[in-house]
Amino acid sequence: MPELPEVEVVRAGLEPAVTGAVIAGVEVFETRSLRRHDHTAGGFVEQLEGRTILGAARRGKFLWMPLSSGRALVTHLGMSGQVLLRDPGHTGDGLLRIRMHLDQPSYGEVWLHFVDQRIFGSMSVDALVPTSDGLPGGYSGAASGDWDDLIPSQVAHIARDPIDPAFSDDGFRDILARKASGIKRVLLDQGVVSGIGNIYADEALWAARLHYEQPADSLSTVTVRRLLAEVRRVLGKALAEGGTSFDAQYVNVNGASGYFAHSLNVYGQQGRPCPRCGTPVVRESFMNRGSHFCPRCQRLRALRR
Residue 256 has pLDDT above 70, yes or no: no
Q: Which helix (H) or strand (E) holds 240?
A: helix 221-240
Our CA angle for 219, 220, 223, nearest 5°, is 80
Our answer to whether residue 209 is catalytic in this structure is no
Catalytic residue among 130, 273, 280, 289: 289
Residue 244 has pLDDT above 60, yes or no: no
Q: Using 50, 70 and 90 to split pLDDT, how confident is the model at 129? A: very high
Of the listed ranges 90-94, 149-153, 269-273, the least confidently predicted one is: 90-94
Residues 133 and 190 in one domain: no
Please report whether residue 163 resides in a domain: no
118 is an annotated ligand-binding site residue: yes
Our answer to whether residue 2 is catalytic in this structure is yes
Under 8 Å between Cβ of 38 and 116: no
Q: List, for residues 83-99, the tens digit of each pLDDT value.
A: 999 999 999 888 999 99
Domain boundary among 93, 125, 152: 152
Catalytic residue among 3, 8, 15, 230: 3
Catalytic residue among 2, 5, 66, 136: 2
Q: List, for residues 112-121, the tens digit of each pLDDT value.
A: 999 998 899 9
Which CATH number belongs to the domain containing residue 76 in this structure?
3.20.190.10
pLDDT for residue 252: 55
Under 8 Å between Cβ of 203 and 238: no
Residues 199 and 276 in one domain: yes
Which CATH number belongs to the domain containing residue 194 in this structure?
1.10.8.50
Residues 16 and 133 in one domain: yes
- What is the 3-class SS of 77-146, one letter each residue? CCCCEEEEEECCCCCCCCCEEEEEEEEECCCEEEEEEEEECCCCCEEEEEEEEECCCCCCCCECCCCCCC
**Residue range 289-301: average pLDDT?**
95
Tell me the C-alpha to C-alpha distance, in Å, between residue 264 and each of 161, 241, 257, 260, 281.
Answer: 21, 12, 16, 7, 12
184 is an annotated ligand-binding site residue: no
Q: List, for residues 168-223, the tens digit of each pLDDT value.
A: 999 999 999 999 999 999 999 999 999 898 888 999 999 999 999 999 999 999 99
Q: How many residues does the chain have?
A: 305
Catalytic residue among 11, 51, 59, 61: 61
pLDDT for residue 7: 86
Q: Which residue has the higher pLDDT, 125 or 140?
A: 125
State which residues form the domain around 43. Answer: 4-152
Our answer to whether residue 237 is catalytic in this structure is no
Residues 201 and 145 in one domain: no
Residue 246 has pLDDT above 60, yes or no: no
Q: Which residue has the higher pLDDT, 39 or 146?
A: 39
Residue 149: other Cβ atoms inside 10 A:
14
Residues 139 and 248 in one domain: no
Residue 276 has pLDDT above 80, yes or no: yes
Please report whether residue 157 resides in a domain: no
Give pTM, 2 decimals.
0.87
- The identity of residue 251, as a single letter, is V
Residues 85 and 178 in one domain: no
pLDDT for residue 253: 52
- The identity of residue 192, as a single letter, is V
Residues 148 and 176 in one domain: no
Please report whether residue 305 resides in a domain: no
Domain count along the chain = 2
pLDDT for residue 251: 53
Our answer to whether residue 203 is catalytic in this structure is no
Residues 94 and 135 in one domain: yes
Please report whether residue 44 resides in a domain: yes
Residue 262 has pLDDT above 70, yes or no: no
Residues 95 and 59 in one domain: yes
Please report whether residue 16 resides in a domain: yes
Region of 148 on the Ramachandran plot (φ > 0 left; ψ -120 to 50 alpha; else beta): alpha
Integer Cα distance of 30 and 98 in angstroms: 7
